Amino acid sequence: MLKLTKKADYGLMALKYLAEHPECPAQSAKDIADAYGIPAQLLAKILQRLTKTGLLRSHAGMNGGYALSRDARQISAFEVIHAIDGPLFITSCTKGAKGCELTTNCTIKEPLARVNETIVGVLKSISIYDLAEREPNAHAAPPAQALVTLTM
């Protein structure tokens, strides 16, 4: 449980792929799908959605495809996940405005909301660049240091 959807995974993988091939002006959905062995049509729809939210730029026609709309360092994992899966709630009961229907108190919700914020914070601190520039062997010095302080 507490899983990302496969679509979000696919989206992250695709952006990583694009970040790793900055020389190419665009990569088609099919190319990316083939590279990872994921269903092409499904990935296509994901990329379309990422285009609609402005993370990608698309170009139809031959040699068309998708490209990052910004530098990979400027795109966070959170943005990708949010674009694909929608808002991120850890509790089942957190609904838009009406809150929890459970009678007295879902007091649980309040502390878990902080956990939620923490997760969001962490995901925001990870950029697509971070995902890409990792050769399997270069496992050593990780640069950035994200510090999350949660008071409770």
Partner DNA sequence: CTAAATACGGACTATTCCAGTCGGATATTT
Partner DNA sequence: AAATATCCGACTGGAATAGTCCGTATTTAG
The span from the CA of 124 to the CA of 120, in Å, is 6
Q: Between 60 and 140, whose beta carbon lies closer to a copy of itself?
A: 140
Amino acid at 32: I
| Residue list 42-61, contact with a copy of itself (CB under 8 A) | none
| Residue list 57-96, contact with a copy of itself (CB under 8 A) | 77, 81, 85-86, 88-93
- The CB-of-138 to a copy of itself minimum distance in angstroms stands at 11
Q: What is the DSSP string of 45-114?
A: HHHHHHHHTTSEEEE-STT-EEEESS-GGG-BHHHHHHHHH-S--SSTT--TTT---SSS--TTHHHHHH
Burial of 66 (0-12, 13-18, 19+ CB in 10 A): buried
- The CB-of-136 to DNA minimum distance in angstroms stands at 24
The residue range among 24-32, 33-41, 47-55, 57-65 that interacts with a copy of itself, by the rule CB under 8 A, is 33-41
* Phi, psi of 95, rounded to the nearest 5 degrees: -110, 160
The residue range among 10-18, 21-29, 43-51, 61-69 that interacts with a copy of itself, by the rule CB under 8 A, is 10-18
Q: Between 66 and 78, whose beta carbon lies closer to a copy of itself?
A: 78
Summarize as ranges the residues that interact with a copy of itself (CB under 8 A).
1-6, 8-9, 12-13, 16, 35-38, 77, 81, 85-86, 88-93, 102-108, 110-112, 115, 118-119, 122-123, 125-126, 130-131, 134, 136, 142, 144-152
